[in-house]
Amino acid sequence: MDIDASSRWLVFVGCICAGLGVAAGAFGAHLLKGLLDQPLLAVYDTATRYQMYHAFGMVLSGFAVRIGRDAGAAKAGWMFLAGILLFSGSLYGVSLLGVRWLGAVTPVGGALFILGWGMLAWRAWRWAGCAGTT
């Protein structure tokens, strides 16, 4: 995928994830409050918050690809998407479906979030000339 297409896709998918995060948050705040006990509601809330944070990270990655003309920044954005699917997805499954074993998947998604932020930081470090190359 070329740089411009990668940038557009990351911004688009990030915006979709953010919109779904808002919808999930509203669903949790208004409809699940009476259905889930407090600990499961907290798990659900964690899923929506991390989905939103990393949806913004995807959009940021998309703009970083475009501004820096650097396809390497796209990898961070796709890590964020994979993290959303695994981290938030597993927590949604635990809280809504009661599938407790999905909790074992959550740390994998968290590791992908950390890798994504690290990759984006490395790209920023390089753009700033701190690594000796641009």
The answer to whether residue 45 scores a pLDDT higher than 90 is yes
**Residue with token string 């479906």:** 97
The residue range of the domain holding 107 is: 3-127
Domain count, the chain: 1
pTM of the model: 0.92
**Assigned domain for 132 exists:** no
Question: What's the mean pLDDT in 4-20?
Answer: 96
**Assigned domain for 133 exists:** no
**Assigned domain for 45 exists:** yes
Residue 69 DSSP symbol: T
**Assigned domain for 96 exists:** yes
Residue 102 DSSP symbol: G
**Assigned domain for 34 exists:** yes
**Assigned domain for 70 exists:** yes
**Assigned domain for 134 exists:** no
Question: What's the mean pLDDT in 5-34?
Answer: 95
Asked if 51 contacts 20 with a C-beta cutoff of 8 angstroms, the reply is yes
